[in-house]
A = this chain, B = another copy of it.
Amino acid sequence: MINVAIVGYGNLGKGVECAVSQNDDMQLYGVFSRRDPEKMQTLTGVPVYKLDEILKHKKNIDVLILCGGSATDLPVQTPLLAKDFCVIDSFDTHARIPEHFENVDKCAKEGKNIAIISVGWDPGMFSLNRLYAESILPVGTTYTFWGKGVSQGHSDAIRRVDGVLDARQYTIPVEEALKSVRNGENPTLTTRQKHLRECFVVAKDGADLNKIENEIKTMPNYFADYDTTVHFISMEEMQKNHMALSHGGNVIRSGKTGINNENNHVIEYKITLDSNPEFTSSVLVAYARAAVRMKKEGFIGCKTVFDIPPSYLINKTDEEIRKNLL
């Protein structure tokens, strides 16, 4: 049995707790949190320990799944904990991945551990599909579409607008763009042509709605380059209709082959998720299995999804997968 521990108990940590229970070769040792364990209750009753006492539990844990945020938690926690544990994280600040990789690699090698970073769906399964498709069809173009789903960053940006009580922002792929890409038309798409942004906003009593709407739609980086719609709703409606964690998206590569590039091929990877955090958690758990196997075989250092042989992810023998899945 693989002994898994969770660091951080938000939506992602709870998702890992559920996902571990679906895998027969794993058991959950505990949750580690900065909060007071006495005041926490886990979904499955698994114990909660203080994060700053985690080293006391070192011998009982095969792999730590780090469920903190990419902004401030993971840049510190992943390298630090990689000195003493095999670790997996879902670090998703794309621009800072090279720097995070270097920091984690140094510490993982120091501790002779495996660390797998940026595991989830993007980065993660979408990255894998970009790589596989580009490897197979080197002459072509890759498109990534996100949604329909809530963007936490964009929702937060709206909440910072004066007069806004709460907000939820959905990123939605433009149907015509998806259709053109799927048809192998290889379109050149602007930011505006790929995604729509739909905002649901609860305003404070007496706030100037036109001013709020204008401020959102002209916000640089977040909204100015998109077709954005703003709906004002009540707090009741927000809580009734906009609490779901569903998400999804597509990676599509369209490429040419043939002596005169006369043949077209389209590869599409599409996910439709009821729960964004639970799906990410499920990916994390599969890679936790891979980390433990790789460490047993003597590998050390920081890895990404690109470095992991697929067979390491599944709870089946090589003979079984060749017979039943190949």
Which A residues contact B (CB, under 8 angstroms)? Answer: 15, 17-19, 22-23, 43-44, 94, 97-98, 101, 118, 123, 125, 127-132, 134-139, 182, 184, 257-259, 262-275, 278-279, 281-283, 286, 289, 304-311, 313-315, 318-319, 321-323, 325-326
Report whether B310 and A259 are in contact in the complex, using a CB–CB cutoff of 8 Å. Answer: no
Q: In the bound complex, how far is the Cα of B47 from the Cα of A287, in angstroms?
A: 46
Report whether B309 and A137 are in contact in the complex, using a CB–CB cutoff of 8 Å. Answer: no
Query: Per a CB cutoff under 8 Å, which of B131, B273, B325 touches A131?
Result: B325
In the bound complex, residues from chain B placing their C-beta under 8 Å from that of A118 are 326
Report whether B275 and A263 are in contact in the complex, using a CB–CB cutoff of 8 Å. Answer: yes
Given contacts A19-B257, A275-B258, contact A304 B326 (CB under 8 A): yes
In the bound complex, residues from chain B placing their C-beta under 8 Å from that of A313 are 131-132, 135-136
Q: Please name the residue on chain B nearest to A273 by beta carbon.
A: B265
> Can you give 24 A-B contacts (C-beta < 8 A)?
A22-B257, A43-B259, A98-B322, A101-B322, A127-B326, A130-B325, A132-B310, A135-B313, A136-B279, A136-B313, A184-B272, A257-B275, A263-B274, A265-B271, A265-B273, A265-B274, A265-B279, A266-B270, A267-B269, A268-B268, A304-B322, A306-B325, A306-B326, A307-B311
Q: Please name the residue on chain B nearest to A313 by beta carbon.
A: B135
Chain B nearest CB from A63 CB (Å) reads: 15
In the bound complex, residues from chain B placing their C-beta under 8 Å from that of A139 are 22
Chain B nearest CB from A307 CB (Å) reads: 5
4 pairs of A and B residues whose beta carbons are closest in the complex: A263-B274, A135-B313, A306-B311, A257-B278
Chain B nearest CB from A101 CB (Å) reads: 6
Q: In the bound complex, how far is the Cα of B282 from the Cα of A273, in angstroms?
A: 31
Chain B nearest CB from A86 CB (Å) reads: 18
Report whether A137 and B310 are in contact in the complex, using a CB–CB cutoff of 8 Å. Answer: no
Given contacts A127-B326, A286-B136, A304-B326, contact A18 B259 (CB under 8 A): yes
Given contacts A263-B275, A268-B272, A308-B310, 19 further A-B contacts (CB under 8 A): A97-B323, A98-B319, A118-B326, A127-B325, A128-B310, A130-B325, A136-B279, A136-B283, A136-B313, A138-B315, A257-B274, A263-B273, A265-B275, A265-B282, A306-B309, A306-B310, A306-B311, A306-B326, A310-B310
Q: In the bound complex, how far is the Cα of B318 from the Cα of A98, in angstroms?
A: 10
Report whether A326 and B123 are in contact in the complex, using a CB–CB cutoff of 8 Å. Answer: yes
In the bound complex, residues from chain B placing their C-beta under 8 Å from that of A305 are 310, 326
Given contacts A132-B313, A136-B282, contact A94 B326 (CB under 8 A): yes
